[in-house]
Amino acid sequence: MAITLLILAGSAVFFMSGRVRSDLVAICALLLLLLSGILEPAEALSGFSNSVVIMMIGLFIVGGGIFQTGLAKMISSRLLKLAGNSELKMFLVVMLATAFIGAFVSNTGTVALMLPIVVSMATSANMNPARLLMPLAFASSMGGMLTLIGTPPNLVIQDALIAAGFERLSFFSFTPVGLIVLAAGIILLSLLTRLLGTKRDEHDEAGHGNRSLKELAGEYQISQNLFRVRVKERSSLNGHKLAELDIPERFNISIIEVRRKTSHKNPFFKTLSQQFAGPDTLIAEGDILYVLGDFAQVKHFACKSGLQLMDATTREQDTSSAGSNTLSFQEIGIAEVLLTPTSILLNKYIKDSGFRERYNVNILGIKRKGEYKLRQLKDERIRIGDALLVQGTWSNIARLEREQSDLVVVGQPLQEAAKVTLDHKAPIAAGIMLLMVALMVLDLFPAVVSVMLAAVLMIITGCLRNMEQAYKTINWESIVLIAGMIPMSAALEKTGAASLLSGGLVGGLGSLGPLALLAGVYFTTSLMTMFISNTATAVLLAPIALAAAADIGASPYPFLFAVTIGASLCFASPFSTPPNALVMAAGKYTFMDYIKVGLPLQIIIGVLMIMVLPLLFPF
């Protein structure tokens, strides 16, 4: 028992110091429990097969799908309309929306649903996400107090009451308590979150200042010189490869992209495919060609070739729709290329540079001494100091970066590709998200099954591009942290340390009256939840609280409510509940951040509940 308590105390010290990664601390504590013989290997590794850990992995993937399809940005823009530019209104919207969802869905599922939305909201408002993410996690736990199904400890005390022969609780027996907790939480967090700072992280600021792909295209004035033409049935281009047509030489324009109708009739899937316009691209009837050049020359090209001119003029548009007259960056991207002073490409003509032949990329424009050239590029020489705007598939741009040592591709092409949202998949992601919520509310399957089903659907429907991207959405530090700490609760129970602590603290207060005993039950539960799971704490303390109430002849209801509230509302530790762990990485919180904000909140709400519970449920 003493060894277990020492390991627990040592872990707490390292967590609070923040000098060692939290996942490493958890693994070291796990190894010590294993090497000291307190836990068997199967017990020590049980955390990695725990349903909560598996559910968190699935929720990270679901959240990644919500982000990648642009659904988070769409929802956040609607919530931003409600909040406006007011940080207080944004805070209130997040707290109330999260608490409402948390009343019917597990707090872990609620946070996973709202986390990408809240991050997108904060980014759009140029606000530090840390100011909203901790309130998000705490609001999900507060929302769990609104209904019987909101959090597992509620069901634990329900079972304890029924087993002891008392009247069962109704679905909304918790609502008065939950509303008081939520109101107090909103007031306190509006003040306490000021401790987290207002400025965004310097790295985030730098990223925010970088040019987006649309900004890069706008800088080179691509959209103002981009036109669409449709290939008619009797067009002279029909059935020919681009290399055979010699369009740049004849018309002084460039075809940079082809969009072609696919067989999909479902509105949830793309109806146009995006193809790079290379020398071997075969033109077919119905193709939409994206042409870069002067409007008069494009018009002449359309008339001579039997094409339908779809744009009389163009202007900047904020869209990535496959049918718009702007470039889409889902499969094909753009990047700026800088040449080194010793590059073999210097003084070569664009037409002799070999970019298209070797790497299958087009040169769309040249930036030279602050001026931009987009026309008659084939006869331009590449000079020192030039920046080239190139276009091609993301993989070919990345290959250009890898294989050409005398040029530099600005940015990282494959990372830029990953940032491009799959907007046409947003309705599918929304459907999967709603299905997950419905399955959780109806309780048709265990929560972990509903979450894993949603995660798999996100991948197979293409809301995430591939399995590699799905794995990248998972925050492994949070997963290892929770999996490593779960066996700690087993060690505390196995050695009798948990029973000794809880029984001693609660039993010693019984003679001081019901209010003192209520306070003892509440704060014992609250303290233990910082180190073992809230469900395990509730299971452990519910029978003790029930017996203590019987010993002094008091009603068990306020004491059991103290157990479920104390177990559910633990804010002073990142690993006490999965929601706290879920937001830790995204908010870049340290253990001390939870102490600064969560500990005062936990204590004040505890004192409030000790005063309120006897009024709602008399002794």
493-535 tens-digit pLDDT: 677 765 665 566 566 666 677 888 889 889 888 887 777 667 6
Sign of the C-alpha dihedral computed for residues 586, 587, 589 and 594 taken in this order: negative
Q: What is the SS3 assignment for 45?
A: coil
Q: Comparing 267-271, 272-276, 571-575, which segment has the lowest mean pLDDT? A: 267-271
Q: Which residue did the predictor score with more confidence, 152 or 580?
A: 580
DSSP character string of 473-528:
TS-HHHHHHHHHHHHHHHHHHHTTHHHHHHHHHHHTTGGG-HHHHHHHHHHHHHHH
Residue 68 has pLDDT above 80, yes or no: no
Phi/psi at 282 (5° precision): -95, 125
| Residue 259 pLDDT exceeds 70 | yes
Predicted local confidence at residue 314, as pLDDT? 44
In sequence order, what are the beta bridge partners of 367?
372, 387
Given a cut of 70, whether residue 217 has pLDDT beyond it is no
Cα 72 from Cα 421, distance rounded (Å): 10
Task: Tell me, rounded to whole angstroms, the distance of Cα 262 from its chain centroid.
Answer: 31
Tell me, what's the pLDDT at 180? 94
Asked which of 148-152, 209-213, 413-417 is least confident by mean pLDDT, the reply is 413-417
Whether residue 216 has pLDDT greater than 80: no
The amino acid at residue 108 is T
Residue 408: phi and psi, rounded to 5, are: -125, 125
Q: pLDDT at position 327, please?
A: 56
Looking at residue 319, its pLDDT comes to: 39
Q: For a pLDDT cut of 70, what percent of the chain falls above it?
A: 77
- Please check whether residue 480 is in contact with residue 26, taking contact to mean a CB–CB distance below 8 angstroms: yes
Contact 488, 532 (CB under 8 A): yes
Per-residue pLDDT, 331: 62
Amino acid 405: pLDDT: 62
How confident is residue 414, by pLDDT bands cut at 50, 70 and 90?
Answer: very low
User: In this structure, what are the phi and psi dihedrals at residue 321, rounded to the nearest 5 degrees?
Assistant: -65, 145
d(C-alpha 193, C-alpha 129), whole Å = 11
Average pLDDT over residues 182-211: 67
Task: Answer yes or no: is pLDDT of 372 > 60.
Answer: yes
Residues 6+ apart with CB under 8 A from 404: 359
Question: Which pLDDT band holds residue 221 (cuts at 50, 70, 90)?
Answer: low
Which has the higher per-residue pLDDT, 445 or 440? 445
**Strand bridging mode 362-368 / 371-373:** antiparallel
Q: How confident is the model at residue 312 (pLDDT cuts 50, 70, 90)?
A: low
- Which residue pairs from 365-369 have beta carbons closer than 8 angstroms and sit at least 24 positions apart in sequence? 365/220, 365/222, 365/389, 367/219, 367/220, 367/336
* Average pLDDT of the residues of the chain: 77
pLDDT of residue 595: 87
Query: pLDDT-based confidence at 566, cuts 50/70/90?
Result: very high
- Cβ neighbours of residue 36 closer than 8 Å, sequence gap 6 or more: 3, 7
Q: What pLDDT is stored for residue 609 in this prediction?
A: 93
Tell me the range of 261-270, 385-394, 610-619 where mean pLDDT is highest. 610-619
> In the block, which residue shows the tokens 């009798």?
496
Residue, of 504 and 454, whose pLDDT is higher: 454
Report which residue type is found at 537. Answer: T
**CA gap 301, 222 in Å, rounded:** 19
Three-state SS string over 55-70 comes to HHHHHHHHHHHHHHCC
Q: What's the pLDDT band for 142 if we cut at 50, 70, 90?
A: very high
For residue 368, the model assigns a pLDDT of 80
The alpha-carbon radius of gyration of the chain (Å, integer) is 30
**Among all chains, which residue has been given the structure tokens 């105390």?**
9
Contacts of 156 (CB under 8 A, 6+ apart): 535, 538, 539, 542, 563, 564
pLDDT at site 334:
74
The least confident of 217-226, 255-264, 356-365 is 217-226
